């Protein structure tokens, strides 16, 4: 049986990526509106009532308004995946990171409303949440998170600035320490003490690395890097998309670039350890437009629609 899907905001970066990825998924029929009617509320409401699932690739306020319009359809309302940051910690929405815990994939499969994670948050939560759940990072442990992303994650204006040569080669941002991904990191990482998060953007189109440095002697039980790696490997055992590098693989990759997983929904996690100094660096590499955006949306769609 074919499921029908409408991407609201299909002309944006994430919408276009989702559309391209869904072209390769069997059992999906994409519905669309003519360009001149994409902001026509009446036309959209009519289409919402005719499809099985809607993916929102809209600015936050528009996503909130559209979600309300969909909910107002009652029994005719389609299921929803929101790719914006509008509903990531909102009541009634399921967080769309299937690898979060053993039951998250099943919860997504049953959900009427799923909120896609942010790209930076995806990496941070992937590194931290399994270790807090295992008791290897204390919930009150001070944690700092660094992240560098390709410029495609910043939308049309940032893309144009970098591709026209007006943007710098690299820049930190979110320096008020109030980045929009922080609420979901705080909610789903398992930490009670709010972490410090400083994102950055580099002069490359897509790909990203999220990193978390830790003092091993500041953690409960003073674990080794091997203990952290084993806990992460156990958490992601059997995962289709998230893999944990072995100690030998990480030792052979002492430089880490952000682009080799571009075009995939994969994530590779490394645990780099200096045993003598009792320090580790956790690192997650993935495509900010893949596992960090459109790839995650398609993964969630496949769970929800069973395709």
- Cβ atoms of 68 and 58 closer than 8 Å: no
Q: Which two tokens stand for residue 231?
A: 């806990």
Q: Which two tokens stand for residue 200?
A: 């950055």
CB atoms within 10 A of CB 10: 18
Place of tokens 């789903």: 188
- Cβ atoms of 151 and 159 closer than 8 Å: yes
- Cβ atoms of 263 and 269 closer than 8 Å: no
- Cβ atoms of 120 and 198 closer than 8 Å: no
CB neighbour list of residue 80: distance below 8 Å, 6 or more residues apart: 53, 54, 55, 56, 67, 70, 112, 113, 114
Whole-angstrom Cα distance, residue 78 to residue 49? 7
Q: Which two tokens stand for residue 215?
A: 């003092």
To the query of whether residue 119 is one of the catalytic residues in this protein, the response is yes
**Catalytic residue chosen out of the listed positions 119, 137, 296, 305:** 119
**CB-based burial, 79-110: b 16+ in 10 Å, e otherwise:** bbbbbbbbbbeeeebbbbbbbbeeebbebbbe
Active site residues: 119
């Amino acid at each position: 049986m074919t499921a029908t899907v409408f991407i609201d905001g299909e002309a944006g970066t994430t919408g276009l990526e989702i559309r391209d990825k869904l072209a390769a998924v069997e059992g999906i029929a994409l519905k669309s509106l003519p360009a001149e009617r994409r902001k026509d509320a009446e036309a959209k409401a009519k289409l919402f009532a005719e499809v099985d699932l809607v993916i929102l690739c809209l600015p936050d306020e528009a996503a909130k308004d559209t979600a309300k319009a969909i909910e107002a359809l009652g029994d005719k309302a389609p299921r929803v995946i929101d790719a914006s940051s509008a509903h990531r910690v909102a009541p009634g929405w399921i967080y769309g990171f299937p690898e979060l815990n053993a039951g998250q994939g099943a919860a997504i499969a049953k959900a009427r409303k799923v909120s896609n994670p942010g790209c930076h948050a995806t990496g941070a939560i992937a590194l931290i949440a399994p270790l807090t759940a295992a008791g290897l990072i204390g919930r009150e442990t001070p944690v700092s998170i660094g992240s560098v992303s390709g410029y495609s994650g910043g939308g049309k204006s940032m893309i144009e600035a970098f591709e026209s040569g007006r943007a710098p080669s690299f820049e930190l941002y979110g320096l008020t320490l109030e980045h929009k991904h922080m609420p979901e990191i705080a909610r789903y990482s398992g930490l009670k003490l709010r972490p410090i998060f400083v994102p950055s953007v580099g002069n490359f189109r897509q790909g990203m690395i999220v990193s978390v440095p830790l003092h091993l002697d500041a953690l409960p039980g003073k674990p080794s890097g091997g203990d952290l790696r084993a806990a992460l490997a156990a958490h992601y055992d059997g995962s289709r998309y998230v893999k944990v590098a072995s100690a030998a693989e990480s030792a052979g990759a002492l430089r880490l670039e952000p682009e080799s997983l571009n075009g995939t929904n994969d994530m590779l996690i490394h645990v780099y350890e200096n045993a003598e100094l009792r320090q580790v660096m956790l690192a997650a590499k993935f495509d900010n437009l893949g596992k960090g955006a459109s790839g995650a949306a398609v993964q969630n769609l496949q769970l929800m629609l069973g395709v």
